[in-house]
Amino acid sequence: MASRRVPLVLLACGSFNPITNQHMRLFELARDHMQSTGQYKVVGGIVSPVSDGYGKQGLVSAKHRISMAKLALQSSNWVTVDEWESQQPDWTETVVTMRYKTHLM
């Protein structure tokens, strides 16, 4: 039955200003829930920080938010940081980021 499960990648977009333990815990809870349905096999997770163009007051530069996220996730063997969204000149809608990620897979 497990071989018939739909492979699934979890994606979290946001400022991650900074990334927190709860952000990381969110991935674990989502993975556990999706796999408990018996329909999905979570094969990975992606943290996608927004670009500096988001314009949020107090937003730390993307370079630093990415570094913090990578440090926070260095012990994870399934959640990674993707820099694509953070490198865009303007804020990117989540659906655009999802389409970009889907195109890569």
Domain count, the chain: 1
Residue 82 within a domain: yes
- pLDDT over 60 at 1, yes or no: no
Place of tokens 């329909």: 39
pLDDT value at position 3?
65
pLDDT tens string 87-97: 999 999 999 99
Q: Is 36 contained in some domain?
A: yes
Q: 63 in a domain, yes or no?
A: yes
Could you tell me if 51 and 63 are in contact, meaning their C-beta atoms sit under 8 angstroms apart? no
Q: Is 60 exceeded by the pLDDT of residue 6?
A: yes
The pLDDT score that the predictor gives to residue 57 is 94
User: Which residue range is the domain that position 18 belongs to?
Assistant: 6-104
CB-based contact 41:6 (threshold 8 Å): yes
The CATH number of the domain holding residue 80 is 3.40.50.620
pLDDT exceeds cutoff 70 at 21: yes
- The answer to the question of residue 1 being in a domain is no
Note whether residue 43 is domain-resident. Answer: yes
Q: Is 78 helix (H, G, I), strand (E, B) or coil?
A: coil
The arithmetic mean of pLDDT across residues 67-83, rounded, is: 97
Task: Map tokens 């400022």 to a residue.
Answer: 15
